Structure 1
Amino acid sequence: MTTLQLPVEEPQDKYLVPGLERGLRLLCEFSRKDKSLSAPELARRLDVPRSTVFRLLATLERMGFVERNDGGRDYRLGMAVLHLGFEYLASLELTEIGRPLLERLRDEIHYPCNLVVRDGRSIVYVAKSVAPTAFVSSVSVGTRLPAHATVLGRVLLEDLSLAELRELYPEERLERFSDSTPKTVLDLFHMLQEDRQRGYVLQEGFYESRISTVAAPVRDQSGRVVAALGATIPAPHIDETQLDLIVRRVRESADELSRLLDYVPEKSGGMVVNL
Protein backbone atom coordinates (compact mmCIF):
# COMPACT_ATOMS: atom_id res chain seq x y z
CA MET A 1 0.00 0.00 0.00
CA THR A 2 1.44 3.33 -1.07
CA THR A 3 1.39 6.14 1.47
CA LEU A 4 0.43 9.50 0.05
CA GLN A 5 3.11 12.05 0.81
CA LEU A 6 1.65 15.50 1.35
CA PRO A 7 3.86 18.45 0.49
CA VAL A 8 5.44 20.03 3.51
CA GLU A 9 4.41 23.67 3.86
CA GLU A 10 7.49 25.83 3.80
CA PRO A 11 7.86 28.36 6.59
CA GLN A 12 7.03 31.93 5.63
CA ASP A 13 10.29 33.19 7.17
CA LYS A 14 12.20 31.38 4.45
CA TYR A 15 11.25 34.10 1.96
CA LEU A 16 12.14 37.07 4.17
CA VAL A 17 15.13 39.22 3.19
CA PRO A 18 16.78 40.31 6.48
CA GLY A 19 18.62 43.27 4.96
CA LEU A 20 15.46 44.66 3.36
CA GLU A 21 13.52 44.14 6.58
CA ARG A 22 16.15 46.03 8.58
CA GLY A 23 16.19 48.88 6.06
CA LEU A 24 12.42 49.29 6.24
CA ARG A 25 12.45 49.09 10.03
CA LEU A 26 15.12 51.80 10.04
CA LEU A 27 12.95 54.11 7.93
CA CYS A 28 9.99 53.51 10.26
CA GLU A 29 11.98 54.85 13.22
CA PHE A 30 11.72 58.38 11.81
CA SER A 31 8.55 60.22 12.78
CA ARG A 32 7.06 63.63 13.42
CA LYS A 33 8.60 63.44 16.91
CA ASP A 34 11.95 61.98 15.82
CA LYS A 35 12.69 63.91 12.64
CA SER A 36 16.45 63.26 12.83
CA LEU A 37 18.35 60.34 14.33
CA SER A 38 22.00 59.36 14.59
CA ALA A 39 23.49 56.05 13.52
CA PRO A 40 24.27 55.01 17.15
CA GLU A 41 20.70 55.77 18.18
CA LEU A 42 19.31 53.75 15.26
CA ALA A 43 21.64 50.85 16.13
CA ARG A 44 20.31 50.90 19.69
CA ARG A 45 16.67 51.01 18.60
CA LEU A 46 17.05 48.23 16.04
CA ASP A 47 19.36 46.20 18.26
CA VAL A 48 21.87 45.63 15.46
CA PRO A 49 25.62 46.40 15.18
CA ARG A 50 26.59 49.95 14.26
CA SER A 51 28.46 48.67 11.23
CA THR A 52 25.20 47.21 9.90
CA VAL A 53 23.37 50.49 10.46
CA PHE A 54 26.12 52.45 8.67
CA ARG A 55 25.79 50.15 5.65
CA LEU A 56 22.01 50.51 5.65
CA LEU A 57 22.26 54.29 5.91
CA ALA A 58 24.84 54.47 3.12
CA THR A 59 22.54 52.49 0.82
CA LEU A 60 19.43 54.47 1.71
CA GLU A 61 21.31 57.76 1.39
CA ARG A 62 22.51 56.84 -2.09
CA MET A 63 18.92 56.07 -3.12
CA GLY A 64 17.62 59.31 -1.60
CA PHE A 65 15.53 57.75 1.16
CA VAL A 66 17.62 59.40 3.91
CA GLU A 67 19.90 62.42 3.96
CA ARG A 68 22.26 64.02 6.43
CA ASN A 69 21.27 67.09 8.40
CA ASP A 70 23.46 69.80 6.86
CA GLY A 71 26.25 67.29 6.36
CA GLY A 72 26.28 66.37 10.05
CA ARG A 73 26.11 63.05 11.85
CA ASP A 74 22.32 62.88 12.14
CA TYR A 75 20.03 61.61 9.41
CA ARG A 76 16.52 62.50 8.32
CA LEU A 77 14.10 61.15 5.73
CA GLY A 78 14.92 62.11 2.14
CA MET A 79 12.78 63.22 -0.77
CA ALA A 80 12.49 59.67 -2.13
CA VAL A 81 10.24 58.77 0.80
CA LEU A 82 8.02 61.79 0.08
CA HIS A 83 7.83 60.83 -3.60
CA LEU A 84 6.91 57.27 -2.69
CA GLY A 85 4.21 58.48 -0.32
CA PHE A 86 2.61 60.77 -2.88
CA GLU A 87 2.78 58.06 -5.54
CA TYR A 88 0.90 55.77 -3.13
CA LEU A 89 -1.76 58.39 -2.45
CA ALA A 90 -2.11 59.08 -6.15
CA SER A 91 -2.61 55.36 -6.79
CA LEU A 92 -5.61 55.18 -4.50
CA GLU A 93 -8.92 55.18 -6.35
CA LEU A 94 -10.43 56.78 -3.27
CA THR A 95 -8.34 59.95 -3.51
CA GLU A 96 -8.64 60.21 -7.28
CA ILE A 97 -12.42 60.10 -7.12
CA GLY A 98 -12.73 62.03 -3.87
CA ARG A 99 -10.56 65.06 -4.63
CA PRO A 100 -13.00 66.73 -7.08
CA LEU A 101 -15.82 66.21 -4.57
CA LEU A 102 -13.76 67.86 -1.83
CA GLU A 103 -13.03 70.84 -4.05
CA ARG A 104 -16.67 71.24 -4.97
CA LEU A 105 -17.73 70.98 -1.32
CA ARG A 106 -15.10 73.54 -0.32
CA ASP A 107 -16.39 75.98 -2.94
CA GLU A 108 -19.94 75.53 -1.65
CA ILE A 109 -19.35 75.89 2.10
CA HIS A 110 -16.10 77.94 2.06
CA TYR A 111 -14.34 75.83 4.70
CA PRO A 112 -11.43 73.36 4.46
CA CYS A 113 -12.53 69.83 3.54
CA ASN A 114 -10.65 66.60 4.22
CA LEU A 115 -10.68 62.92 3.35
CA VAL A 116 -9.09 60.52 5.84
CA VAL A 117 -8.58 56.76 6.22
CA ARG A 118 -7.74 54.67 9.26
CA ASP A 119 -4.41 52.95 9.88
CA GLY A 120 -4.79 50.96 13.08
CA ARG A 121 -5.33 53.41 15.92
CA SER A 122 -4.57 56.47 13.77
CA ILE A 123 -6.32 58.43 11.07
CA VAL A 124 -4.30 59.54 8.06
CA TYR A 125 -5.21 62.53 5.90
CA VAL A 126 -5.08 61.40 2.26
CA ALA A 127 -6.70 64.39 0.54
CA LYS A 128 -7.34 67.99 1.51
CA SER A 129 -8.96 71.03 -0.09
CA VAL A 130 -8.24 74.40 1.54
CA ALA A 131 -10.62 77.34 1.43
CA PRO A 132 -9.25 80.87 0.82
CA THR A 133 -9.94 82.15 4.34
CA ALA A 134 -7.89 83.51 7.24
CA PHE A 135 -8.30 80.16 9.01
CA VAL A 136 -5.12 78.07 8.72
CA SER A 137 -5.41 74.35 9.46
CA SER A 138 -2.56 72.59 11.24
CA VAL A 139 -3.03 69.37 9.27
CA SER A 140 -1.76 68.40 5.84
CA VAL A 141 -1.83 65.32 3.62
CA GLY A 142 -0.04 62.57 5.54
CA THR A 143 -0.86 63.96 9.00
CA ARG A 144 -1.70 61.25 11.54
CA LEU A 145 -4.00 61.83 14.53
CA PRO A 146 -5.49 59.49 17.16
CA ALA A 147 -8.67 57.87 15.87
CA HIS A 148 -10.50 57.64 19.21
CA ALA A 149 -9.96 61.33 19.98
CA THR A 150 -11.04 62.90 16.67
CA VAL A 151 -14.40 63.38 14.99
CA LEU A 152 -13.12 61.90 11.72
CA GLY A 153 -11.72 58.96 13.68
CA ARG A 154 -15.07 58.30 15.31
CA VAL A 155 -16.61 57.97 11.87
CA LEU A 156 -13.92 55.47 10.85
CA LEU A 157 -14.40 53.39 14.00
CA GLU A 158 -18.18 53.19 13.98
CA ASP A 159 -18.37 49.80 12.23
CA LEU A 160 -16.29 48.05 14.91
CA SER A 161 -17.92 45.83 17.50
CA LEU A 162 -17.14 46.19 21.19
CA ALA A 163 -14.86 43.14 21.00
CA GLU A 164 -12.97 44.63 18.05
CA LEU A 165 -12.59 47.93 19.87
CA ARG A 166 -11.23 46.14 22.95
CA GLU A 167 -8.71 44.34 20.75
CA LEU A 168 -7.66 47.66 19.21
CA TYR A 169 -7.54 49.42 22.60
CA PRO A 170 -6.63 46.82 25.25
CA GLU A 171 -5.68 49.46 27.84
CA GLU A 172 -8.04 50.20 30.73
CA ARG A 173 -8.02 53.97 30.14
CA LEU A 174 -7.81 55.70 26.78
CA GLU A 175 -5.30 58.49 26.23
CA ARG A 176 -6.99 61.87 26.78
CA PHE A 177 -6.51 64.77 24.39
CA SER A 178 -9.36 66.99 25.56
CA ASP A 179 -12.21 66.94 28.05
CA SER A 180 -14.37 65.40 25.32
CA THR A 181 -12.14 62.34 24.73
CA PRO A 182 -13.93 59.14 25.87
CA LYS A 183 -12.31 57.73 29.00
CA THR A 184 -12.78 54.01 28.29
CA VAL A 185 -13.46 51.69 25.37
CA LEU A 186 -17.02 51.25 26.60
CA ASP A 187 -17.55 55.02 26.58
CA LEU A 188 -16.14 55.11 23.05
CA PHE A 189 -18.39 52.25 21.93
CA HIS A 190 -21.56 53.98 23.19
CA MET A 191 -20.49 57.19 21.46
CA LEU A 192 -19.91 55.33 18.18
CA GLN A 193 -23.34 53.69 18.34
CA GLU A 194 -24.98 57.11 18.61
CA ASP A 195 -22.84 58.38 15.73
CA ARG A 196 -23.86 55.44 13.57
CA GLN A 197 -27.56 55.99 14.26
CA ARG A 198 -27.24 59.70 13.50
CA GLY A 199 -25.36 59.09 10.24
CA TYR A 200 -22.84 61.89 10.77
CA VAL A 201 -20.84 63.62 13.53
CA LEU A 202 -20.85 67.32 14.38
CA GLN A 203 -18.89 68.44 17.42
CA GLU A 204 -16.95 71.44 18.61
CA GLY A 205 -13.65 71.18 20.47
CA PHE A 206 -13.55 67.38 20.43
CA TYR A 207 -9.83 67.23 19.63
CA GLU A 208 -8.79 70.86 19.31
CA SER A 209 -10.50 73.67 21.21
CA ARG A 210 -12.51 76.26 19.29
CA ILE A 211 -12.61 74.04 16.19
CA SER A 212 -15.73 72.26 14.95
CA THR A 213 -15.77 69.31 12.59
CA VAL A 214 -18.61 67.86 10.52
CA ALA A 215 -17.91 64.38 9.18
CA ALA A 216 -19.75 61.52 7.48
CA PRO A 217 -18.78 57.96 6.51
CA VAL A 218 -17.70 56.81 3.05
CA ARG A 219 -18.47 53.15 2.29
CA ASP A 220 -17.29 50.82 -0.45
CA GLN A 221 -19.13 48.03 -2.26
CA SER A 222 -18.77 45.73 0.77
CA GLY A 223 -20.63 48.24 2.93
CA ARG A 224 -17.61 48.89 5.17
CA VAL A 225 -16.57 52.38 6.20
CA VAL A 226 -13.37 52.96 4.23
CA ALA A 227 -12.98 56.71 4.72
CA ALA A 228 -14.39 59.74 6.48
CA LEU A 229 -15.20 62.95 4.63
CA GLY A 230 -15.39 66.11 6.68
CA ALA A 231 -15.25 69.88 6.93
CA THR A 232 -13.32 71.88 9.53
CA ILE A 233 -14.96 75.03 10.88
CA PRO A 234 -13.46 77.62 13.25
CA ALA A 235 -16.08 77.74 16.00
CA PRO A 236 -16.13 81.54 16.49
CA HIS A 237 -17.16 81.95 12.84
CA ILE A 238 -19.97 79.44 12.67
CA ASP A 239 -23.08 80.86 11.04
CA GLU A 240 -25.98 78.99 12.64
CA THR A 241 -28.17 79.69 9.63
CA GLN A 242 -25.67 77.83 7.42
CA LEU A 243 -24.94 74.93 9.74
CA ASP A 244 -27.78 72.74 8.50
CA LEU A 245 -26.63 73.34 4.93
CA ILE A 246 -23.02 72.40 5.79
CA VAL A 247 -24.11 69.17 7.49
CA ARG A 248 -26.37 68.28 4.58
CA ARG A 249 -23.69 68.94 1.95
CA VAL A 250 -21.04 66.98 3.85
CA ARG A 251 -23.38 64.00 4.10
CA GLU A 252 -24.40 64.27 0.44
CA SER A 253 -20.74 64.45 -0.65
CA ALA A 254 -19.87 61.38 1.44
CA ASP A 255 -22.87 59.52 0.02
CA GLU A 256 -21.89 60.48 -3.53
CA LEU A 257 -18.34 59.23 -3.01
CA SER A 258 -19.76 55.99 -1.58
CA ARG A 259 -21.89 55.51 -4.70
CA LEU A 260 -18.85 56.10 -6.89
CA LEU A 261 -17.11 53.32 -4.91
CA ASP A 262 -20.05 51.02 -5.84
CA TYR A 263 -21.74 51.13 -2.43
CA VAL A 264 -25.43 50.22 -2.60
CA PRO A 265 -27.47 51.05 0.53
CA GLU A 266 -29.41 48.14 1.99
CA LYS A 267 -33.14 48.06 1.39
CA SER A 268 -35.64 47.33 4.14
CA GLY A 269 -39.39 47.14 3.59
CA GLY A 270 -39.15 48.93 0.27
CA MET A 271 -37.24 51.82 1.77
CA VAL A 272 -33.55 52.59 1.31
CA VAL A 273 -31.70 52.62 4.60
CA ASN A 274 -28.29 54.29 4.84
CA LEU A 275 -26.38 52.24 7.39
Structure 2
Amino acid sequence: MTQALPPDTVQDKYIVPGLERGLRLLGEFSRAERTLSAAELARRLQAPRSTVFRLLATLEMLGFVERTDNGREYRLGMAVLRLGFEYLASLELTELGAPLLDRLRDETGYPCNLVVRDGRSIVYVAKSVAPRPFASSVNVGTRLPAHATVLGRVLLEDLTLAELRELYPEPQLEAFSEGTPRTVDALFEMVQTDRERGYVLQEGFYEASISTIAAPVRDRSARVVAAMGVTIPASHIDPEELGGMVEKVRNTAGELSRLLDYRPQLGRKVVNL
Protein backbone atom coordinates (compact mmCIF):
# COMPACT_ATOMS: atom_id res chain seq x y z
CA MET A 1 0.00 0.00 0.00
CA THR A 2 1.31 3.44 -0.95
CA GLN A 3 1.86 5.67 2.05
CA ALA A 4 0.03 9.01 1.90
CA LEU A 5 2.27 12.03 1.41
CA PRO A 6 2.27 14.77 4.03
CA PRO A 7 0.06 17.74 3.07
CA ASP A 8 3.08 20.04 2.59
CA THR A 9 4.68 17.55 0.22
CA VAL A 10 1.51 17.31 -1.86
CA GLN A 11 1.27 21.10 -2.02
CA ASP A 12 4.93 21.51 -3.02
CA LYS A 13 4.45 18.94 -5.76
CA TYR A 14 2.11 21.25 -7.67
CA ILE A 15 4.00 24.54 -7.22
CA VAL A 16 5.44 26.01 -10.43
CA PRO A 17 8.73 27.67 -9.43
CA GLY A 18 8.83 30.06 -12.39
CA LEU A 19 5.30 31.29 -11.75
CA GLU A 20 6.02 31.66 -8.05
CA ARG A 21 9.10 33.77 -8.77
CA GLY A 22 7.21 35.92 -11.26
CA LEU A 23 4.47 36.67 -8.77
CA ARG A 24 6.97 37.37 -6.01
CA LEU A 25 8.75 39.74 -8.37
CA LEU A 26 5.53 41.69 -8.97
CA GLY A 27 4.96 41.81 -5.23
CA GLU A 28 8.23 43.70 -4.72
CA PHE A 29 6.78 46.83 -6.29
CA SER A 30 4.89 49.13 -3.94
CA ARG A 31 3.68 52.68 -3.54
CA ALA A 32 6.99 53.54 -1.87
CA GLU A 33 9.10 51.72 -4.47
CA ARG A 34 7.41 52.15 -7.81
CA THR A 35 10.54 51.44 -9.89
CA LEU A 36 13.16 48.75 -9.36
CA SER A 37 16.18 47.59 -11.33
CA ALA A 38 16.80 44.03 -12.45
CA ALA A 39 19.83 43.87 -10.19
CA GLU A 40 17.81 44.95 -7.15
CA LEU A 41 15.07 42.43 -7.97
CA ALA A 42 17.66 39.67 -8.32
CA ARG A 43 19.06 40.57 -4.91
CA ARG A 44 15.63 40.57 -3.27
CA LEU A 45 14.55 37.31 -4.86
CA GLN A 46 17.94 35.74 -4.28
CA ALA A 47 17.89 34.59 -7.88
CA PRO A 48 20.46 34.73 -10.71
CA ARG A 49 20.28 37.88 -12.81
CA SER A 50 19.76 35.78 -15.95
CA THR A 51 16.64 34.25 -14.38
CA VAL A 52 15.30 37.67 -13.36
CA PHE A 53 15.93 39.06 -16.84
CA ARG A 54 13.90 36.19 -18.34
CA LEU A 55 11.11 36.80 -15.84
CA LEU A 56 11.09 40.52 -16.64
CA ALA A 57 11.11 39.87 -20.38
CA THR A 58 8.11 37.56 -20.06
CA LEU A 59 6.20 39.96 -17.79
CA GLU A 60 7.02 42.88 -20.06
CA MET A 61 5.71 41.01 -23.09
CA LEU A 62 2.42 40.35 -21.24
CA GLY A 63 2.15 43.95 -20.04
CA PHE A 64 2.63 43.27 -16.33
CA VAL A 65 5.80 45.36 -16.15
CA GLU A 66 7.26 48.09 -18.34
CA ARG A 67 10.60 49.84 -18.57
CA THR A 68 11.05 53.34 -17.30
CA ASP A 69 12.34 56.13 -19.54
CA ASN A 70 15.96 55.44 -18.62
CA GLY A 71 15.58 51.81 -19.72
CA ARG A 72 17.38 50.47 -16.66
CA GLU A 73 14.46 50.14 -14.25
CA TYR A 74 11.01 48.61 -14.33
CA ARG A 75 7.59 49.53 -13.00
CA LEU A 76 4.21 47.80 -12.94
CA GLY A 77 2.33 47.79 -16.24
CA MET A 78 -1.30 48.25 -17.21
CA ALA A 79 -2.04 44.52 -17.08
CA VAL A 80 -1.68 44.63 -13.29
CA LEU A 81 -4.13 47.53 -13.18
CA ARG A 82 -6.61 45.60 -15.31
CA LEU A 83 -6.36 42.64 -12.95
CA GLY A 84 -7.14 44.96 -10.05
CA PHE A 85 -10.23 46.27 -11.84
CA GLU A 86 -11.34 42.74 -12.67
CA TYR A 87 -10.93 41.77 -9.03
CA LEU A 88 -13.11 44.65 -7.89
CA ALA A 89 -15.70 43.85 -10.53
CA SER A 90 -15.73 40.18 -9.52
CA LEU A 91 -16.58 40.94 -5.90
CA GLU A 92 -20.16 40.26 -4.96
CA LEU A 93 -22.28 43.37 -5.22
CA THR A 94 -23.32 42.76 -1.65
CA GLU A 95 -19.71 43.03 -0.44
CA LEU A 96 -19.24 46.42 -2.03
CA GLY A 97 -22.79 47.64 -1.73
CA ALA A 98 -23.75 46.65 1.83
CA PRO A 99 -21.78 49.37 3.65
CA LEU A 100 -23.00 51.96 1.15
CA LEU A 101 -26.60 50.86 1.73
CA ASP A 102 -26.14 51.21 5.47
CA ARG A 103 -24.77 54.72 5.03
CA LEU A 104 -27.61 55.68 2.70
CA ARG A 105 -30.12 54.32 5.21
CA ASP A 106 -28.54 56.43 7.95
CA GLU A 107 -28.61 59.53 5.74
CA THR A 108 -32.24 59.12 4.64
CA GLY A 109 -33.78 57.25 7.56
CA TYR A 110 -35.57 54.83 5.19
CA PRO A 111 -35.00 51.22 4.07
CA CYS A 112 -32.52 50.83 1.22
CA ASN A 113 -32.23 48.00 -1.28
CA LEU A 114 -29.91 46.67 -3.96
CA VAL A 115 -31.41 44.53 -6.71
CA VAL A 116 -30.26 42.77 -9.87
CA ARG A 117 -32.23 41.49 -12.84
CA ASP A 118 -32.77 37.81 -13.62
CA GLY A 119 -34.65 37.66 -16.90
CA ARG A 120 -38.04 39.27 -16.38
CA SER A 121 -37.66 39.48 -12.59
CA ILE A 122 -35.72 41.61 -10.17
CA VAL A 123 -34.02 39.89 -7.25
CA TYR A 124 -33.21 41.63 -3.98
CA VAL A 125 -29.57 40.86 -3.15
CA ALA A 126 -29.02 43.27 -0.23
CA LYS A 127 -31.12 45.47 2.03
CA SER A 128 -30.60 47.80 4.95
CA VAL A 129 -33.53 48.20 7.32
CA ALA A 130 -34.30 51.58 8.86
CA PRO A 131 -34.91 51.89 12.61
CA ARG A 132 -38.28 53.58 12.11
CA PRO A 133 -41.33 51.25 11.91
CA PHE A 134 -42.04 50.34 8.33
CA ALA A 135 -43.67 47.10 7.22
CA SER A 136 -41.92 45.69 4.16
CA SER A 137 -42.79 42.47 2.37
CA VAL A 138 -39.43 42.16 0.62
CA ASN A 139 -36.40 40.29 1.87
CA VAL A 140 -33.11 39.27 0.32
CA GLY A 141 -34.06 36.77 -2.39
CA THR A 142 -37.50 38.27 -3.05
CA ARG A 143 -38.41 38.34 -6.75
CA LEU A 144 -40.74 40.89 -8.34
CA PRO A 145 -41.69 41.65 -11.97
CA ALA A 146 -39.13 43.94 -13.58
CA HIS A 147 -41.55 45.81 -15.85
CA ALA A 148 -43.90 46.66 -12.99
CA THR A 149 -41.42 47.98 -10.41
CA VAL A 150 -39.39 51.17 -10.15
CA LEU A 151 -36.18 49.24 -9.49
CA GLY A 152 -36.98 46.99 -12.43
CA ARG A 153 -37.41 49.95 -14.75
CA VAL A 154 -33.89 51.04 -13.85
CA LEU A 155 -32.56 47.57 -14.70
CA LEU A 156 -34.24 47.64 -18.12
CA GLU A 157 -32.72 50.97 -19.18
CA ASP A 158 -29.96 49.53 -21.36
CA LEU A 159 -32.20 47.28 -23.42
CA THR A 160 -33.06 48.31 -26.96
CA LEU A 161 -36.64 48.07 -28.16
CA ALA A 162 -35.75 44.87 -30.01
CA GLU A 163 -34.27 43.36 -26.85
CA LEU A 164 -37.35 44.33 -24.85
CA ARG A 165 -39.60 42.72 -27.45
CA GLU A 166 -37.56 39.54 -27.21
CA LEU A 167 -37.87 39.61 -23.42
CA TYR A 168 -41.61 40.38 -23.54
CA PRO A 169 -43.04 38.79 -26.71
CA GLU A 170 -46.65 38.99 -25.50
CA PRO A 171 -48.86 41.79 -26.91
CA GLN A 172 -50.05 42.90 -23.47
CA LEU A 173 -47.95 43.11 -20.30
CA GLU A 174 -49.36 41.94 -16.99
CA ALA A 175 -50.66 44.90 -15.01
CA PHE A 176 -50.03 45.21 -11.26
CA SER A 177 -51.23 48.79 -10.81
CA GLU A 178 -52.60 51.69 -12.79
CA GLY A 179 -49.07 52.79 -13.55
CA THR A 180 -47.88 49.50 -15.09
CA PRO A 181 -47.10 49.96 -18.79
CA ARG A 182 -49.41 47.79 -20.87
CA THR A 183 -47.21 47.31 -23.94
CA VAL A 184 -43.52 46.91 -24.72
CA ASP A 185 -43.56 50.19 -26.63
CA ALA A 186 -44.94 52.02 -23.59
CA LEU A 187 -42.36 50.30 -21.35
CA PHE A 188 -39.51 51.28 -23.67
CA GLU A 189 -40.62 54.90 -23.76
CA MET A 190 -40.87 54.94 -19.96
CA VAL A 191 -37.44 53.45 -19.29
CA GLN A 192 -35.75 55.69 -21.85
CA THR A 193 -37.22 58.73 -20.09
CA ASP A 194 -35.87 57.28 -16.83
CA ARG A 195 -32.45 56.81 -18.45
CA GLU A 196 -32.28 60.41 -19.61
CA ARG A 197 -33.33 61.66 -16.17
CA GLY A 198 -30.73 59.49 -14.42
CA TYR A 199 -33.05 58.27 -11.67
CA VAL A 200 -36.66 57.30 -10.96
CA LEU A 201 -38.94 58.78 -8.30
CA GLN A 202 -42.49 57.52 -8.27
CA GLU A 203 -45.31 56.77 -5.87
CA GLY A 204 -47.61 53.78 -6.00
CA PHE A 205 -46.06 52.28 -9.13
CA TYR A 206 -46.14 48.71 -7.84
CA GLU A 207 -47.61 49.04 -4.37
CA ALA A 208 -50.05 51.74 -3.28
CA SER A 209 -48.87 54.36 -0.81
CA ILE A 210 -45.22 53.49 -1.36
CA SER A 211 -42.66 55.73 -3.05
CA THR A 212 -39.34 54.59 -4.41
CA ILE A 213 -36.27 56.56 -5.41
CA ALA A 214 -33.92 54.47 -7.53
CA ALA A 215 -30.75 54.95 -9.54
CA PRO A 216 -28.64 52.66 -11.74
CA VAL A 217 -25.37 50.98 -10.79
CA ARG A 218 -23.04 50.36 -13.73
CA ASP A 219 -19.82 48.40 -14.10
CA ARG A 220 -16.77 48.95 -16.31
CA SER A 221 -18.72 47.80 -19.39
CA ALA A 222 -21.10 50.74 -18.71
CA ARG A 223 -24.04 48.36 -18.52
CA VAL A 224 -26.57 48.58 -15.69
CA VAL A 225 -25.75 45.67 -13.37
CA ALA A 226 -27.87 46.66 -10.37
CA ALA A 227 -30.35 49.21 -9.11
CA MET A 228 -30.12 50.96 -5.76
CA GLY A 229 -33.21 52.38 -4.14
CA VAL A 230 -34.83 53.93 -1.09
CA THR A 231 -38.38 52.95 -0.12
CA ILE A 232 -40.55 55.64 1.47
CA PRO A 233 -44.12 55.54 2.83
CA ALA A 234 -45.89 58.02 0.57
CA SER A 235 -47.79 59.59 3.45
CA HIS A 236 -44.50 60.56 5.12
CA ILE A 237 -42.85 62.31 2.16
CA ASP A 238 -41.62 65.81 2.84
CA PRO A 239 -41.41 67.60 -0.53
CA GLU A 240 -38.63 69.81 0.76
CA GLU A 241 -36.47 66.75 1.46
CA LEU A 242 -37.05 64.95 -1.83
CA GLY A 243 -34.40 66.80 -3.81
CA GLY A 244 -31.73 66.02 -1.27
CA MET A 245 -32.81 62.39 -1.00
CA VAL A 246 -32.68 61.96 -4.77
CA GLU A 247 -29.13 63.28 -4.81
CA LYS A 248 -28.12 60.97 -1.96
CA VAL A 249 -29.44 57.94 -3.86
CA ARG A 250 -27.77 59.00 -7.11
CA ASN A 251 -24.48 59.78 -5.41
CA THR A 252 -24.42 56.46 -3.55
CA ALA A 253 -25.26 54.50 -6.70
CA GLY A 254 -22.56 56.45 -8.49
CA GLU A 255 -20.06 55.61 -5.78
CA LEU A 256 -20.79 51.90 -6.13
CA SER A 257 -20.46 52.25 -9.90
CA ARG A 258 -17.03 53.80 -9.49
CA LEU A 259 -15.99 50.89 -7.28
CA LEU A 260 -16.96 48.68 -10.21
CA ASP A 261 -14.72 50.83 -12.46
CA TYR A 262 -17.54 52.55 -14.35
CA ARG A 263 -16.44 55.48 -16.49
CA PRO A 264 -19.26 57.65 -17.93
CA GLN A 265 -17.56 58.14 -21.30
CA LEU A 266 -17.90 54.41 -21.95
CA GLY A 267 -21.70 54.53 -21.85
CA ARG A 268 -23.62 52.65 -24.54
CA LYS A 269 -26.02 54.54 -26.76
CA VAL A 270 -29.41 52.87 -26.94
CA VAL A 271 -30.83 52.70 -30.44
CA ASN A 272 -34.56 52.65 -30.98
CA LEU A 273 -34.95 49.71 -33.37
Query: TM-score, normalized by length of structure 1?
Result: 0.64
Deviation for aligned residue 1:267: 7.7
TM-superposition CA deviations, 1:25-47 (whole Å, max 9, x none) = xxxxxxxxxxxxxxxxxxxxxxx
Distance 1:224 1:113 in 2: 22
- The one-letter code matched in structure 1 to 2:226 is A
The match for 1:144 is 143
The match for 2:109 is 110
The match for 1:201 is 200
SS at match of 1:123: strand
- The one-letter code matched in structure 2 to 1:265 is P
SS at match of 1:266: helix
Distance 2:103 2:231 in 1: 15
TM-superposition CA deviations, 1:14-60 (whole Å, max 9, x none) = xxxxxxxxxxxxxxxxxxxxxxxxxxxxxxxxxxxxxxxxxxxxxxx
Deviation for aligned residue 1:261: 0.4
The match for 1:123 is 122
The match for 2:209 is 210
The match for 2:236 is 237
The match for 2:99 is 100
Deviation for aligned residue 1:241: 1.2
1:135 aligns with 2:134: yes
Distance 2:143 2:188 in 1: 22
TM-superposition CA deviations, 1:143-179 (whole Å, max 9, x none) = 0000000000000001000000000000000000000
Task: Indicate if the aligned counterparts of 2:222 and 2:266 stay in contact, CA closer than 8 A.
Answer: no
Task: Indicate if the aligned counterparts of 2:121 and 2:146 stay in contact, CA closer than 8 A.
Answer: yes
Deviation for aligned residue 1:93: 2.1
The match for 1:248 is 247
Distance 2:179 2:224 in 1: 23
Task: Indicate if the aligned counterparts of 2:117 and 2:152 stay in contact, CA closer than 8 A.
Answer: yes
- The one-letter code matched in structure 2 to 1:258 is S
Deviation for aligned residue 1:248: 0.4
Distance 1:92 1:261 in 2: 9
- Identity within the alignment, %: 75
Deviation for aligned residue 1:265: 1.1
Change (3 A) 1:246 1:172: same
Deviation for aligned residue 1:102: 0.1
Distance 1:263 1:241 in 2: 31
Distance 1:240 1:180 in 2: 21
The match for 1:258 is 257
SS at match of 1:247: helix
Distance 2:249 2:137 in 1: 21
- The one-letter code matched in structure 2 to 1:148 is H
Deviation for aligned residue 1:231: 0.2
- The alignment's C-alpha RMSD in Å is 1.3
Deviation for aligned residue 1:92: 5.0
Distance 1:93 1:127 in 2: 11
Between Structure 1 and Structure 2, whose CA radius of gyration is higher?
2
TM-superposition CA deviations, 1:125-150 (whole Å, max 9, x none) = 00000001111211000000000000
The match for 1:225 is 224
Distance 2:103 2:192 in 1: 30
The match for 2:166 is 167
Q: Tell me, which stretches of 5 or more residues in structure 2 are unaligned?
A: 1-89, 268-273
TM-superposition CA deviations, 1:240-268 (whole Å, max 9, x none) = 11111110000000000000001111189
Deviation for aligned residue 1:191: 0.3
Change (3 A) 1:115 1:267: closer
Please list every run of at least 4 consecutive aligned residues from structure 1 whose deviation after the TM superposition is greater than 6 angstroms. Answer: none
SS at match of 1:172: coil
* Structure having greater relative contact order (Cα 8 Å, sep ≥ 6): 2
Distance 1:146 1:92 in 2: 26
